[in-house]
Amino acid sequence: MAALAEALELGVDALQQAIGVLRAHAASRASGTPRAKDEALPDPAELPVGVADRLLLAIHEEALGRPLEVTLECDACGELTTLVLSQDAVGEHWPRSAWCAPGVGAREPSYLDLAAARGDAGALLERCSIGTGATLEDIGRIEGSLCGPLVSSCIECGDPIFDDRDVVPLVLASLAHIGAELDYQVHVLAATYGWDLASIETLPDARRRRLVDLAAGMAP
Ligand SMILES: [Zn+2]
């Protein structure tokens, strides 16, 4: 949680923040597993966007103890419907690549590809092309990112409701509360038990949350 909060503060734009969150998570995972000392850690920013988006949802669920939720308003009756973007709800990612002709095709872009292309479609095509001759349409067909319309129906009147959303900013906005929540937890535990910052931050997230609940319950 502390590493995620730091990654969010360092990232300059949404994509860089998302890359920071993925890398902080991978590093905290790797610190608990024995590895050969010259074994390089795979960079999660090189994962296809469809895999990386789903990983962000999983990290959100792990860090906050609940899946990402999006609330949409019904155009017909004004009622609010909350969609839960759990890993089950968004479904699995299927690895895809497009072959246009023998030796010509494209692979699914990664966050690193998107960051390097800086919004330039031509640059993205060049990075993700295999051979020459693939088009942006080919890349559009194979990218499995979780952005685009969220479709559901209103809980009140049953009318279809939809919204154009991208999972990355939604996850980042929700994770942005992490820094504030961590500060609160550190404050409560330091004030209650007199522990130092490092000891509190290294507690497992779930255990720290339980201790804060206990400490808050003891307050007069
Ligand atoms: Zn409605």
SS3 assignment for 47-73 = CEHHHHHHHHHHHHHHHHCCCEEEEEE
- Tell me, yes or no, whether 46 lies in a domain: no
- Tell me, yes or no, whether 41 lies in a domain: no
- Tell me, yes or no, whether 50 lies in a domain: no
Cα(182)–Cα(188) distance, rounded to whole angstroms? 10
pLDDT for residue 112: 92
pLDDT tens-digit readout, 69-123:
888 888 999 999 888 888 777 777 777 777 777 778 888 889 999 888 888 888 8
Among 143, 164, 199, the domain-final residue is 143
What's the CA-to-centroid distance between 89 and ligand 1, angstroms? 21
Residues around the ion ligand 1 (C-beta < 5 A): 74, 76-77, 79, 154, 156-157, 159
- Tell me, yes or no, whether 186 lies in a domain: yes
Would you say 76 and 154 are in contact if contact means Cβ atoms under 8 Å apart? Answer: yes
What's the CA-to-centroid distance between 155 and ligand 1, angstroms? 7
- Domains held by the chain: number: 2
Would you say 25 and 4 are in contact if contact means Cβ atoms under 8 Å apart? Answer: yes
Q: Give the residue among 28, 68, 84, 47 at the shortest CA–CA distance from 175.
A: 68
Q: Pick the most confident of 24-33, 101-110, 207-216.
A: 207-216
Give the CA-trace dihedral at 186, 68, 96, 112, to 10 degrees.
Answer: -40
- Tell me, yes or no, whether 24 lies in a domain: no
Q: What is the mean pLDDT of residues 27-33?
A: 77
- Tell me, yes or no, whether 73 lies in a domain: no
- Tell me, yes or no, whether 137 lies in a domain: yes
* Domain of 119, in residue numbers: 97-143
Q: Give the residue among 25, 33, 26, 31 at the shortest CA–CA distance from 4.
A: 25
- Tell me, yes or no, whether 11 lies in a domain: no
Q: Which amino acid is at 160?
A: P
pLDDT tens-digit readout, 116-158:
888 888 888 999 998 888 888 888 887 777 776 677 888 899 8
